[in-house]
Structure 1
Amino acid sequence: MKQFSAKRSIQFLAHILKEYGIFNIIISPGSRNAPLAIHFSENDEFNCYSIVDERSAGFVGLGMAKSLKQAVAVTCTSGSAAANYYPAVTEAFYQNVPLLVLTADRPASFVDIFDGQTIRQKDLYQQHSYGDFQLLEDDDENADEENFALIKKAVELCFEKQGPVHINIPLTEPLYELVSELPVFPPIETTIQKKSYSLPSNLVADWNLSKRIMILVGTRDHSDELEMQLRQLAKNHSVVILTEATSNIKHEKFFSHIDRYIFNFDDADFQLYAPDLLITVGQNVVSKKIKQFLRKAHPKNHWHIDEHWQPDTFFALTEKIETKPETFFNRLLGQVNLEPRPYYNLWDVLRDKKDIKHTEYCMKTQFSDFKFFELLNQKVPENIKIHFSNSSAIRYAQLFDWKNTMYCNRGTSGIDGSTSTAMGFAMKNEGQTLLVTGDLSFFYDINGLWNNYIPPYTRIIVFNNGGGDIFKIIPGPNSTNALDEFILTKHHKTAEHLAAHFGFSYTKVDEEDTLARVLDNFFKTDTKPKILEVDTAGIENAAVLKGYFEFLK
């Protein structure tokens, strides 16, 4: 016989989540959130996942939401458990991933009296959430009506803003009162407002008068519609379109290796290649060089197109376009001049020169992190969705052409939840998911492997260079005595025992020919998920990468 929580607030919560189609619940263990764990797990309409570590659980929920393109709920007990969600909340905030954060709490009167597992949970994520709601306890006056309204408002805000929303739920003891039947709740009518967009005539005029139009696409999900629209704009060489690996749009006329083309720009180049109209789409860009370039360029007009964020990243923002890029370009395409502009040819000549140099360098490079990424790019099947960890991994990925859909936690650009995010994504991805991660990011987030839901077709590649090699690449750290121990964090750890502990097949390679052979079989079907460790700890990887950019001159 099914048993549900007798708490009315939890019954309302579950009913409203079902009405809005939120069926996936990440549950971390605890007693204060037991009413939620019992209620959701006993209800067949919910898919419940037990993730012990709340920091990992938050990122698992984020990855799952990205895979499904739907809101996911996470729930935990009170105290520091709730604080451990914060890294994932900030990432979801800056990526606009709909994450509903349900924290169980002691009664409000217990805060700051030194009761166990009690902190100031009300408004805990206020700086990085789109809404913070505190429910009333069941016995409070008008609790039913107010809680029903608050939960509905919170869920709709999560949908509208496509980001994290927090519901804090004070629960008095007893926590384990159960019922076998639930009351019948009425259906809910959504009140989410749809936005419309009209193209201002001055934008058409600015486009037609501009001689040097650049479109820069940052991090975003793949969109067939947007890709076709941008292809149409580039077809006649009307615009220069710069993309990154995480832009997830591809075409031969797009300029997809920004650092390859502009890394060695001097002040004269900054002026020569600068746009007069800059249009930015999506969120964070990985390339630091493009930020430096465009901040020096001072374009006359800068339009940013996004439903949620209009950041002045390049200190030149003139137009905040608060709509989907697909909607904007649909309005724009039929009204603007798409004649060829010499600006495209200027960039095209630069690209041809740098692409030849890239190919030459690849041919002469020996086994290294750089060579690993070149080989992986050649071997990975295009239907696999790839998650990259931050720091070196995503920067190396930028240097090569990928046919895959790519993901990376660029909201806050931290290494802390890369594995957990990828594993959450894999749990809901019908095809293969590949995580490509550096060693520090992998070891930092090993609890991302601590669950029973990782599909056997999941793949992880750890390129282990013995520390945070990014700090040998960027200027500054090499000049300090603290580099090895406190910044680079040298180590001699491997993933072998972790793989066995968590039930993964494991292979280690430390030279090029073996790596090429292993990659040929790595993506084939197996009964277990797999970890491949690529050991480059004895290689001067930073020198290889610096040599690459020197060679491009």
Structure 2
Amino acid sequence: MNPDLWPVHALVDGLYASGVRRAVISPGSRNTPLVFALLEHGGLELVSHMDERSAAFFALGMARQSGEPVAVVCTSGTAVANLYPAVVEAYFSRVPLVVLTADRPAELREVGANQTIRQPNLFGAHVKWACETPVPEDRSDLALDLRGLAMRAGLAARSVPEGPVHVNVPFREPLLPPRRSDSAGLAELPAIHGQPAAGAPCAPSALAQVEEALSRARRPVIVTGPMRPGPLAQGVARFAGASGIPLLADILSQCRDSEASVPHYDLVLRAGAAPEPPDLVLRFGGEPTSKALSSWLRKARAEFVVFDETPLYRDSGHQATHVVIGDPTPWLHEVPGALGDWSEYRAAWRHASDAARRALREFLPWFEGEAVRMAVEALNPGHVLVLGNSRPIRDADALALPRAGVEAYGNRGASGIDGVISTALGHAVASGRPTLLAIGDVSFYHDLNGLAAARELSSPFVVVLVHNGGGGIFRHLAQAERPDAIDWFTTPHELDFAPIVRAYGGTYVCAGDANALMTGLREGMERPGLTVVEARFPNEESPRVYRDLVARLASAMGVGAR
């Protein structure tokens, strides 16, 4: 036993003081002191996950669902590099993670020592803050140092904008720390408590400019991208309803069920059936999913107000004419609704939206987008929805109207297809509520190791697996113009997922039609644990259905006659 390692217990105390209540641990030798210190703390919920990449995404899902920082702990070497994809996603989607990596001490670096890479600052610009601790040794001042560094890390992860931080901890052998009960020095350390500062309110002068812009606007719209459930999303929905301004709400905005929301705006825009472009845009949250919306806004030449909690505001189209930094929630609840009369513009959007809804009702065949729409709209209040990238989120955004009280999430920071199963399982475990994941077959393949965390489930977790034999999204993109080479992008495969799902203890259902899909979904949502409902479709079918749908809507709206 190494008596020099008792300060590692103080490090864990610092994490707890900062608000960390959960940790996801991947096994290894060099992180032995961290594992024992976490196990013996007594106040942390711990999850073991064999695969570091999946573990980090699982921690990301838990952190986003709970709103609290989650620690992810691994050993040295390439184990650390496997955390990188989730760290990148956490940084750009503003999710608080504390990455704790064990390392060799400095004398073993650059000399060919086993499992030793250049870990300090490995994540570069993709973490908010990074530090390396001293090698733990038997000194009370060092225990204070490690505890303070850990608390600073947790508070940095929680502060606005939330995001990942990296703490690299080098250890010398032997690696077994003393038991916490034997670490007498801990009792001598003074108590410590940390609390991140609340987000600052928006400057009154900036909000006055927004009100002035609203007073002269004739065609304002509110555009909401991905946001977490909470006061901001509620405030946006409330303001849109009170003001009568059309609300173009992304599927992940938590605002789509607002009375002011305009359903199916993506289809309306693709069909060229939208009303006149806006003269004022109020933008909240992350970047919207709809490419048609982004393109339409770029052409609008409107005043463009971007609200963001930090100066790292999101404006990929470089359209902002006003940037309002801070928390606009109080203003959204207090600003008077009668700053203008926009009833005519709202009615025009309602007319186009109603036409799109009729076209969907009358035309939609059984295809992959319909499978996603049906699954999303079948959820009940209190359920959690996680959408995979590529086609599932686009289909849900274009076609689906989720019920009120359904929280919707997706990894839209970097929009990768890796780690999606693990992220969704993190949401399910942290929430304890029935959770639906809609995902494509290539993304499902990318994170099969993530299914190992299904053993942590206490509630139903249903995966609607849309299997089109490869990356069907490329059939919607320019690559489809080269049929001689399209397979290099769609990567067709003949993988049979059924035995893999069963190997992880899940229930597998093959859904050959809409009725089978709904039966599998309904039964899965009543059964705790993992259920995978797989629906197969031809790879080339989706683009044809969308072309026909958009053409029917354009014809119904008389667009071709203009």
Pick closer, same or farther for the CA change 1:415–1:186 going to 2, 3 Å: same
Tell me which amino acid in the other structure corresponds to 2:54.
S
Of residues 403-412 and 184-193 in structure 1, the stretch that sits farther from structure 2 once superposed is 184-193
Pick closer, same or farther for the CA change 1:378–1:329 going to 2, 3 Å: closer
How do 1:55-454 and structure 2 match up within 5 A?
Answer: 55-139=53-137, 143-161=142-160, 162-179=162-179, 180-182=181-183, 183-184=186-187, 185-190=189-194, 192-194=196-198, 195-200=200-205, 201-223=208-230, 226-227=233-234, 229-235=236-242, 237=244, 239-249=245-255, 250-265=257-272, 273-307=276-310, 309-331=312-334, 333-334=335-336, 337-362=339-364, 365=365, 367-398=366-397, 399-403=399-403, 404-451=406-453, 452-454=455-457
SS at match of 1:450: helix
Pick closer, same or farther for the CA change 1:97–1:505 going to 2, 3 Å: same
CA contact (8 A) 1:19 1:187 kept: no
SS at match of 2:229: coil
SS at match of 1:118: coil
Pick closer, same or farther for the CA change 1:6–1:480 going to 2, 3 Å: farther
SS at match of 2:389: coil
* Structure 2 partner of 1:499: 501
2: CA distance, partners of 1:525 / 1:308? 45
CA contact (8 A) 1:245 1:256 kept: no
Measured against aligned partners, the alpha-carbon deviations of 1:328-375 in whole angstroms (never above 9, x if no partner) come to: 4235x148614335332332232233222222213xx2x321332343
Query: What is the CA distance between 1:177 and its match in structure 2?
Result: 3.7
1: CA distance, partners of 2:470 / 2:9? 49
2: CA distance, partners of 1:22 / 1:423? 19
SS at match of 1:476: helix
Query: What is the CA distance between 1:17 and its match in structure 2?
Result: 1.6
Query: What is the CA distance between 1:11 and its match in structure 2?
Result: 1.8
SS at match of 1:529: strand
2: CA distance, partners of 1:170 / 1:282? 38
Tell me which amino acid in the other structure corresponds to 2:214.
W
Query: What is the CA distance between 1:196 and its match in structure 2?
Result: 3.9
2: CA distance, partners of 1:102 / 1:498? 31
Pick closer, same or farther for the CA change 1:549–1:474 going to 2, 3 Å: farther
2: CA distance, partners of 1:436 / 1:25? 26
In the alignment, structure 2 segments of 5+ residues that lack a partner are 555-562
* Structure 1 partner of 2:24: 26
Query: What is the CA distance between 1:229 and its match in structure 2?
Result: 4.9
Measured against aligned partners, the alpha-carbon deviations of 1:489-514 in whole angstroms (never above 9, x if no partner) come to: 10111221011100011111223343
Choose from 449, 457, 460 the match for 2:460: 457
Tell me which amino acid in the other structure corresponds to 1:466.
G
CA contact (8 A) 1:210 1:277 kept: yes
Q: Does 2:552 align with 1:551?
A: yes
Query: What is the CA distance between 1:424 and its match in structure 2?
Result: 1.2
CA contact (8 A) 1:471 1:487 kept: yes
Query: What is the CA distance between 1:327 and its match in structure 2?
Result: 3.1
* Structure 1 partner of 2:475: 472
* Structure 1 partner of 2:558: none
Query: What is the CA distance between 1:140 and its match in structure 2?
Result: 10
Pick closer, same or farther for the CA change 1:301–1:371 going to 2, 3 Å: closer
Tell me which amino acid in the other structure corresponds to 1:259.
D
SS at match of 2:100: strand
Task: Report % sequence identity.
Answer: 27
Measured against aligned partners, the alpha-carbon deviations of 1:376-434 in whole angstroms (never above 9, x if no partner) come to: 24533343211111101111111111112211111111110110001111112221111
1: CA distance, partners of 2:542 / 2:201? 50
Tell me which amino acid in the other structure corresponds to 2:370.
K
CA contact (8 A) 1:281 1:325 kept: no
SS at match of 1:490: coil
Tell me which amino acid in the other structure corresponds to 2:430.
K
2: CA distance, partners of 1:326 / 1:483? 47
Query: What is the CA distance between 1:313 and its match in structure 2?
Result: 2.2
Give TM-score, length-normalised by structure 2.
Answer: 0.90
1: CA distance, partners of 2:270 / 2:5? 60
2: CA distance, partners of 1:359 / 1:274? 27
Query: What is the CA distance between 1:458 and its match in structure 2?
Result: 1.5
1: CA distance, partners of 2:524 / 2:299? 45
Measured against aligned partners, the alpha-carbon deviations of 1:265-291 in whole angstroms (never above 9, x if no partner) come to: 39xx6xx63222211111121111111
SS at match of 2:204: coil
Tell me which amino acid in the other structure corresponds to 1:197.
C
CA contact (8 A) 2:28 2:74 kept: yes
CA contact (8 A) 1:40 1:46 kept: yes
Q: How many residues align?
A: 540
1: CA distance, partners of 2:507 / 2:270? 39
Tell me which amino acid in the other structure corresponds to 1:172.
R
SS at match of 2:128: coil
2: CA distance, partners of 1:181 / 1:273? 73
CA contact (8 A) 1:134 1:167 kept: yes
Query: What is the CA distance between 1:236 and its match in structure 2?
Result: 5.0
CA contact (8 A) 1:393 1:437 kept: yes
Give TM-score, length-normalised by structure 1.
Answer: 0.91
SS at match of 2:382: coil
